């Protein structure tokens, strides 16, 4: 199965950004772990701080399922939400932190309703749980 993992703003800073919330493992290191654990899955990774670039990548249609952590776009990007609605493939939204235990504005996801499932609060393991649910 071809799985696209796509991360939004500031997730390129994983491992150094607020480690008390997001942990101390970089996405690159964790991605290597995922690829080793799931050798039958073809995992592709993309990250951008730019909303339009994320939408363009999602529209490339070269994957069978998507795992998305929209970062801050979670809370206000109707453009990403609309893009996800038009993808007729399994879609899982992942959040490293429990967004419901954070600031009030983080408790609403406008992108979640365009996904099949949401995983929140399991740290980086959320990506692993998403892959397991897809394969």
Ligand-binding annotation for 82, yes or no, is: yes
Ligand-binding annotation for 10, yes or no, is: no
* Whole-number Å distance between alpha carbons of 76 and 125: 25
* Whole-number Å distance between alpha carbons of 118 and 91: 9
Ligand-binding annotation for 96, yes or no, is: yes
Ligand-binding annotation for 57, yes or no, is: no
Ligand-binding annotation for 75, yes or no, is: yes
The separation between CA 46 and the C-alpha centre of its own chain, rounded to angstroms, equals 10
Q: What is the DSSP letter of 98?
A: -
Ligand-binding annotation for 56, yes or no, is: no
Out of 30, 46, 78, 95, the active site residue is 95
Out of 22, 30, 45, 46, the active site residue is 22
Q: Is 45 a catalytic residue?
A: no
DSSP string, 72-126: GGGGT-HHHHHHHHT--S-EEEEESS-GGGS-GGGG--SSGGGSSEEEESSTTHH
Q: Is 95 a catalytic residue?
A: yes
Provide the annotated binding site: 69, 75, 82, 96-97, 106
Please report, in range form, the residues annotated as the binding site for substrate. 69, 75, 82, 96-97, 106
- Positions marked active-site: 22, 95
């Amino acid at each position: 199965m071809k799985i696209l993992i796509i991360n939004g703003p500031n997730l390129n800073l994983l491992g150094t950004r607020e480690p008390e919330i997001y942990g101390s493992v970089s996405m690159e290191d964790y991605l290597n772990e995922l690829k080793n654990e799931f050798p039958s899955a073809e995992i592709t990774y993309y990250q951008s701080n730019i909303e339009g670039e994320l939408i363009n990548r999602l529209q490339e249609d070269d994957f069978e399922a998507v795992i998305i952590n929209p970062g801050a776009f979670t809370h206000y990007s109707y453009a990403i939400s609309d893009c996800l609605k038009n993808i007729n493939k399994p879609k899982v939204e992942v959040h490293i932190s429990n967004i419901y235990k954070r600031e009030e504005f983080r408790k609403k996801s406008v992108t979640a309703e365009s996904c099949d499932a949401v995983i929140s609060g399991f740290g980086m393991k959320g990506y692993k749980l998403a892959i397991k649910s897809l394969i």
